[in-house]
Structure 1
Amino acid sequence: MRNITLKSTLYILVVISAIAWFTLAYFGGLDLSKVDDFFGLIPKVVTIDLLVVAVFVKWGWKLKIFRGWLVPFPDLNGSWIGFIYSDWKNPKTGEKPLPIPVMLTVKQSFFHIHCMMLTSEMESSSYSEGFLIEPDRQIKTLAYSYSSKSRLSLNERSIPHDGTAVFKIIEKPKQKLVGRYWTERLTKGEIALEHHAKEILDELPEELGEHPVTEDENRR
């Protein structure tokens, strides 16, 4: 897949350069058969190429027309909401929690992606991220490693830790991220998310409800 997109990128740059060369020569009244006229356009053509690349890297890569053949990965920018299904057991009750409301926010550019996961009790921030995209094998995956920390008052039962999350990317019929995670605390679980908004939200939507462990403790 990487080889395909690299070839596509090179072909497009060659076409853009050729169009720029002939257009500048036409409107400048130049004869490209002359060495001085031909090579004299190099600085201008390079400038046009760089401008086109800059626009593409900033905005163009998000357009669906480029998806697959030029841009191998999807645009995941925005806020995703759903639930964590954890095998963690509450040390006070020895029971697994009910599904935990969660939000994943994704900030993505052409060269980088950062993920922040939030529940009402903790937040985790990614520090190593990557896509595995293999259309022929029907594989579309986002994976990242993260550091997680809970509210200070909860450190006794939820200590800071690192972990890894791997999501299958589902684009049709609805955008979803479905995957699993595991941590150095030897806990693991599944996560199911749906795309909620293009903007980055600062806190969980109220309709998701409270963290089930917090809710149980508040009842006591």
Structure 2
Amino acid sequence: MGLPIALGLLWTAVVVLWGWQTRPRQVRSPAPAPPRFRSPKTAPAVGFALAGVIALAVHPVLGIGTGLLVWVAPHRRQARQRRRQQTAIIEELPEAVDLLRLAVSSGLNIHLAVAAVGDRLPGPVGRGLADAAQQAQAGLRLADALEPLPDSIGEPVRPLVRVLIDGDRYGTELGPALEQVAADSRLLRRRQAEEHARRLPLRLLLPLVGCILPAFILLTLAPVIAETLVAMRR
């Protein structure tokens, strides 16, 4: 009886953890994260110690499951953070390019256009442009300030950064290049939306199998099985 109970508790923990991780979150303006008193290296050690205690005190299977969760959770958290960063960049990039086109067509030079767009976008692209504009105001060349953005923010901004660097260093015309970057960024955002739509059935599979299907089986098959057992006893 101990093994089924341990497996049931482990499955419940997995379902609850998955539901907590995929809960809808309110979009807020970026703010500095509060300092953490526990270092990232301490949390896995505490988790593995807890898994050992559970394995010795409750059941080895439950302890092994807890240890696996502790080992997998940080990697999945980092992967989710990278995916959110990429998603935010791809979502914001078309608006950034359109604002840059509007600013350049209104007569602003590349330095003023980058500073104006960076001040009006709250996402990662806007913050990167604002930081580059501040570095340019401090004396660094704008092209040199923009060059590290693909490595620090993400690869989707590389075409935009290349166009801005060419405009600052060589004086190339920004209008046609920005128009092409805008078309490519919209296509990339549409492909990302299609990819998220294709992933939706897979995300619905776990709650369907773990929550809805057992309740459906319990409501449909349990009465039939109970009546069959009663009839067989008679």
TM-score of the aligned structures, taking structure 1 as reference length: 0.28
**Which structure has more RCO (C-alpha within 8 Å, separation ≥ 6)?**
1
Q: Which structure carries more helix by proportion? A: 2
